[in-house]
A and B are shown apart, each in its own frame.
Chain A
Amino acid sequence: QKEVEQNSGPLSVPEGAIASLNCTYSDRGSQSFFWYRQYSGKSPELIMSIYSNGDKEDGRFTAQLNKASQYVSLLIRDSQPSDSATYLCAVNINSWGKFQFGAGTQVVVTP
């Protein structure tokens, strides 16, 4: 069984601070990794994709991948109340693009 693990939270972050979210995965052969944001009652929206070891930055978001440690993370800089949501880590597990999702980390940004 291929697994993706995330801390469920809630992760409480003061406004303006950095939120750090972690994700580990079990399938060493996985090559593609994604972070989605899901607001309560809404569907997930893609934030970032990452395929190579190292960092990838997009605006206030930075994804980090370490395939040797089977670890992917997401940093949210200058956190805003609008960043309060559940963040889902997803790992591609087959050639059709099937994902294994983590259970999600709830982030609460406090003013």
Chain B
Amino acid sequence: GAVVSQHPSWVICKSGTSVKIECRSLDFQATTMFWYRQFPKKSLMLMATSNEGSKATYEQGVEKDKFLINHASLTLSTLTVTSAHPEDSSFYICSANSGGSNREEQFFGPGTRLTVL
């Protein structure tokens, strides 16, 4: 149980284009989803917390107009990187939990590797 999928697993795009990444919980309802990015040999950096039916809460320094998050249902959250530039190239990972309590484990998707040319 507790499987989270992401699509696509990797994407290459041209500078200035937008890229949408989907995160789905396959066997549970995800009340809360989290979006992280990770640069090579660096730790996870939380970008935003996404609650179903409400606006995402962004971490300090993360541009909400550049990284659009939509948590449309209890099984789907999307991250859109708008007007992508080479510095946005990174490994983007989502995670989800099912209850929003302070005991809930986060289950991670496999990640999406974005390369912006």
Q: Is A111 an interface residue (CB 8 A)?
A: no
1/0 per residue B93-116: CB within 8 Å of A? 100010111111111111100000
Q: Tell me the chain A residues, 23-42 only, with Cβ under 8 Å from chain B.
A: 31-32, 34, 36, 41-42
**Once the chains bind, are A97 and B97 in contact (CB under 8 Å)?**
yes
Whether A51 is near chain B, meaning CB under 8 Å from some CB there, is yes
**Interface residues in A, total, Cβ within 8 A:** 25
The answer to the question of B51 belonging to the interface, with a C-beta cut-off of 8 Å to chain A, is yes
Interface residues on B, range: 20 to 34
For A45, the chain B residues whose CB sits under 8 A away are 108
Which residues of chain B are near A94, meaning CB under 8 Å? 102
Q: Kindly name the residue among B34, B97, B105, B107 whose own CB sees the greatest number of chain A CB atoms within 10 A.
A: B105
Closest approach, in angstroms, between the C-beta of B105 and any C-beta of chain A?
Answer: 5
**Once the chains bind, are A96 and B49 in contact (CB under 8 Å)?**
yes
Q: What string of 1s and 0s marks CB contacts (under 8 Å) between A12-27 and chain B?
A: 0000000000000000
Contacts of A103 in B (CB 8 A): 42-43
In this complex, which of B43, B97, B107, B109 has the most chain A Cβ atoms within 10 angstroms of its Cβ? B43
What is the chain B residue whose CB lies nearest that of A49? B105
Query: Given contacts A42-B110, A42-B111, A46-B107, are A95 and B101 in contact (CB under 8 A)?
Result: yes
4 nearest A-B pairs in the assembled complex, by CB-CB distance: A97-B104, A43-B111, A103-B43, A43-B108
Q: Which residues of B contact A (CB under 8 A)?
A: 32, 34, 42-44, 46, 49, 51, 91, 93, 97, 99-111
On A, residues with C-beta under 8 Å from B are 31-32, 34, 36, 41-46, 49, 51, 88, 90, 92, 94-99, 101-104
